[in-house]
Structure 1
Amino acid sequence: MARLRAGVGVRVITPPVGVPLGGYAARVEPARGVHDDLHARAVVLEAGGERAALVSLELLYATRELVEEVRRVCEEEAGIPQDSVMVAAVHTHSGPSLVGFHSTPRQGYLEEYLRLLPGLVASAVIEATHRLVEVDVRYGRGRVDKWLVNRRKPGRGPLDPEVSALCLEHGGRALCTVVNFACHAVVLGHNNLLISADYPGYVSTTVERLLGGSCLFLNGACGDVNPLTPGTSLERVYDRSVGTFKHAEEMGAAIACEAVKSLLSSESSSVRGVWAARRRVELKIREFPRISEEELEATRRSFKDALAKGNWGEASKLRFRLAMMELVKRLEERCPDGVLRTEVQALRIGDAVVVGLPGEPFVEVGLRIKASSRAGLTMVAGYANDAIGYLPTDEAFEEGGYEVSLPVCIVERGAASRLVDEATRLVEELLAEG
Structure 2
Amino acid sequence: MRSLTRLFLMVLLGGCELVNAQQVYQVGVASESLEPGEESFSVALSGYAGPWAGRFAFTWLPKGLKSSNPAISRSIPKVGKGSVQTAVVGKVTYKLDSKGNITAGKSGKSLPALPGITGFVVKNNDMYAAAGSDTLYRLHLPNPERGWMRAAYHNGQIPRVVPKEIFVSQDKLYAITKTDSLFEAAVIHGKEPEQLFARALALKSEQSQVLLMCLDLCGFDGSFINEIKKDIAKKHRLPEEAILINASHTHFAPGTQKWLTWAPHNRYPDEAYMNKVVRPAMLKAADRALASSAPSYVKVGRGTTAIGRNRSNGELATPYDNAVDVLTAERTDGSEKTVMVLSGCHPVAGTAGIKHFTVSSNYPGFMRNALEEAGKIKTTALFMQGCAGDINPIDEPEITGAKLAADALKVMDSNMKPLSGPVTFHMDSVLAETTPWSKEKLVEFRETNSKLGAQMEPERNVAWADLMLSHLEQNTMPKSMPVYIQTINIGEWKLIGLSREVVTEYGLAIKKLWPEKLVSVAGYCNDVSSYLPVERHIKTRVYEGEGSCFWYGLPSVFPLDILDRVVNRISTKNY
Fold match by TM threshold 0.5:
yes
The one of 371, 381, 388 equivalent to 1:207 is 371
Instruction: Give the match's secondary structure for 1:94.
Output: coil
* Distance in 2 of aligned mates of 1:388 and 1:100: 9
TM-score by length of 1: 0.81
SS of residue in 2 equivalent to 1:195: coil
Summarize the alignment of residues 246-285 of structure 1 with structure 2, pairs less than 5 Å apart. 247-266=396-415, 269=418, 271-285=420-434
Q: Name the counterpart of 1:188.
A: 350
For the Cα contact (< 8 Å) 1:352–1:377, is it kept in 2? Answer: yes
Mapped contact 2:328–2:338 kept (Cα < 8 A): yes
Aligned AA for 1:224? D
Give 1:286 deviation, angstroms.
Answer: 3.1
Distance in 1 (alpha carbons) for counterparts of 2:281 and 2:559? 35
Instruction: Indicate the structure whose relative CO is greater, using CA pairs within 8 Å and at least 6 residues apart.
Output: 1
Deviation, 1:164, is 0.9
**What letter corresponds to residue 84 of structure 1 in structure 2?**
A
State the shift of 1:155 in Å. 8.9
- Alignment match, 2:196: 38
The question of 1:403 aligning with 2:518 is answered no
Cα offset, 1:118, TM superposition:
2.6
Q: What whole-Å deviation, never above 9, does each CA across 1:111-135 have from its counterpart, x for those lacking one?
A: 2112342332122111111101111
Larger radius of gyration: 2
CA contact (8 A) 2:214 2:245 kept: yes
Residue aligned with 1:55, SS: strand
The answer on 1:61 being equivalent to 2:219 is yes
**C-alpha distance in 1 between matches for 2:300 and 2:267:** 44
AA at the equivalent of 1:38 = L
User: 2:219, 2:257 within 8 Å by CA — same for their partners in 1?
Assistant: no
Counterpart Cα distance in 2 of 1:109 and 1:390: 19
Between stretches 122-131 and 280-289, larger displacement belongs to 280-289
| Range with greater deviation from structure 2 (50-59 or 340-349) | 340-349
- 2:355 is the counterpart of 1:355: no
1:204 positional shift: 1.8
Write the mapping of 1:110-259 to structure 2, written as runs, cut at 5 A: 110-116=270-276, 117-153=278-314, 156-170=317-331, 171-172=333-334, 174-189=336-351, 192-211=356-375, 212-229=378-395, 247-259=396-408
Displacement, 1:316?
A: 5.1
Partner in structure 1 of residue 568 of structure 2: 421
Distance across 1 between alignment mates of 2:475 and 2:386: 26
Equivalent residue for 1:310? Answer: none
Q: Where does residue 510 of structure 2 map in the other structure? A: 369
- Write the deviation string for residues 365-414 of structure 1: whole angstroms up to 9, x where unpaired: 11001122246321111000112311111232222211111324642222
Q: 2: distance between equivalents of 1:325 and 1:203?
A: 41
Counterpart amino acid of 2:229? Answer: R
Alignment-mate amino acid for residue 159 of structure 1: Y
Amino acid corresponding to residue 36 of structure 2 in structure 1: P
Q: What is the percent sequence identity of the aligned residues?
A: 23
Q: Distance in 2 between matches of 1:63 and 1:326?
A: 21
| Structure 1 residues not aligned, in runs of 5+ | 230-246, 300-305, 307-313, 430-434
- Equivalent in 360, 364, 386 of residue 527 of structure 2: 386
Cα distance change, pair 60–334 in 1 and its aligned pair in 2 (3 A) = farther
Q: Is the contact made by 2:220 and 2:257 (CA closer than 8 Å) also made in structure 1?
A: no
Structure 2, unmatched stretches of 5+, are: 1-21, 59-187
- Give the TM-score normalised by structure 2: 0.62
How far did residue 201 of structure 1 move? 1.7
Amino acid at match of 2:241: D
Change (3 A) 1:328 1:200: farther
Once the two structures are TM-superposed, the CA of residue 150 in structure 1 deviates from its matched residue by: 3.5
